[in-house]
Amino acid sequence: MATTRPEADACTLLDTDHRAVKKMFKAYEELAGSTARGVEQKKLDLAHQICHELTVHATIEEEIFYPALRAALKDTDLLAEAEVEHASAKDLIAQIESMEQADEMFDAKVKVLGEYIDHHVKEERNEIFPKARAARELDLVAMREELMARKEALMGMEVA
């Protein structure tokens, strides 16, 4: 008997982003341990790519996903916490993007950003996504389309 997968929804899209960024952080960690020639530029490039992906992801959550959840859920403490986590991550992203070389502090900042994101992702997966899926008034399948359209528009923008 074949099992059917549930239709992809907003949470599925956001979690796909989470997994993609997690792979990028792992790749950065491998580069950070390397002494190969040219590794510094590769680390800078990958860190900037991570920052861009996270900035776009946070933007679509803040513009579309979180406001819809805020309107649908009675308890919004988790959303307030998520927004504070976004602010902390954005601060670190700004620091990383302003650095011109991948030195010891650069590696530390990327590592801490990865830890922040891991924590944030666990809360979304374990607490926010289940509440979103349980909220009957949310059309998460339609929201997925809205998130994708906004993400595509933002991804096309130049990395600052």
Percent of the chain with pLDDT over 90: 81
The pLDDT score that the predictor gives to residue 102 is 82
User: What is the DSSP secondary-structure string of the chain?
Assistant: -PPPPPPP-HHHHHHHHHHHHHHHHHHHHHHHT---TTHHHHHHHHHHHHHHHHHHHHHHIIIIIHHHHHHH-S--HHHHHHHHHHHHHHHHHHHHHH-SS--HHHHHHHHHHHHHHHHHHHHIIIIIHHHHHH-TT--HHHHHHHHHHHHHHHHTSPP-
Across the range 46-56, mean pLDDT stands at 97
The pLDDT score that the predictor gives to residue 94 is 97
The pLDDT score that the predictor gives to residue 6 is 57
Q: What is the pLDDT of residues 99-155, one digit of tens each?
A: 988 888 999 999 999 999 999 999 999 999 999 999 999 999 999 999 999 999 999
The pLDDT score that the predictor gives to residue 104 is 84
Confidence at 157, pLDDT banded by 50, 70, 90: low
Average pLDDT, the chain: 92
Q: Which residue has the higher pLDDT, 4 or 87?
A: 87
Q: Which residue has the higher pLDDT, 4 or 153?
A: 153
33 pLDDT above the threshold of 90: no
